[in-house]
Every structure is written in C-alpha cells, then in structure tokens.
Amino acid sequence: MPIYNSRDKLQLSASIDISAYAVSSAKFNYIKPSGTTGSFSATVNTNSDTITYDLASTSDIDTSGRWRFWLEITDTSGLSTRAETTPVEVRDNDT
C-alpha cells in the first residue's frame, strides 16, 4: 500500500531484543528525499518490548520520494544503538 504525502499517517514500530525496561530513550531518525534530517521521539512499550511512533499529523510526511527511517535507542547505561535503515517510498497525492 503506498504512502501519500500530506495525506496519510504512518506508524513506525520495531521489536527490540532487550527488555524495554532497559531503554531510557528511543527515537526514529529520518532523512527526507531532499537530504533534510530529523527525528520523532518514540514510545517504549514495556508490555511487548516494542517501540512505536504514531505520526500525529499528516504534515509529518510532507515530501514525495524515498524517505529513510531508522530506530535509535539509548539504554540505561548510556549506550546508544541504531537499527538498519529502512526506505519508505512516499508518493504525491495526485499519482
């Protein structure tokens, strides 16, 4: 199913191999097709050892083209780990 800019909301989620109780912070980083970078703070679910971010607004995905997302977590000892980058294709509303 395609994702359309400024129209669709997207949920980013990841399962983790450590206890969610050991995670002090989590975020999904992104690179837009233009090369602009940023991040979305994520929610850690201790019941299922998953991390999610529900895009709150359709304006969060505002550019067509190939976006790249990756999860970065920091554990309670301060060690940061990042997941592999996942590409997501975003289309214009009129295509």
pLDDT in tens, 69-91: 999 999 999 999 999 999 999 88
CA 73, CA 88: separation in Å to the nearest integer? Answer: 20
Looking at residue 39, what is its pLDDT? Answer: 93
Segments making up each domain of the chain, as ranges = 3-91
- The Cβ of residue 13 has, within 10 Å, a number of other Cβ atoms equal to 15
pLDDT in tens, 4-37: 777 767 788 888 888 888 999 999 999 999 999 9
CA 17, CA 26: separation in Å to the nearest integer? Answer: 14
Identify the bridge partners of residue 80 per DSSP, sorted by sequence position: 74
CA 36, CA 30: separation in Å to the nearest integer? Answer: 8
Q: Does domain 3-91 have CATH number 2.60.40.10?
A: yes
Main-chain phi, psi angles of 68, to 5 degrees: -130, 130
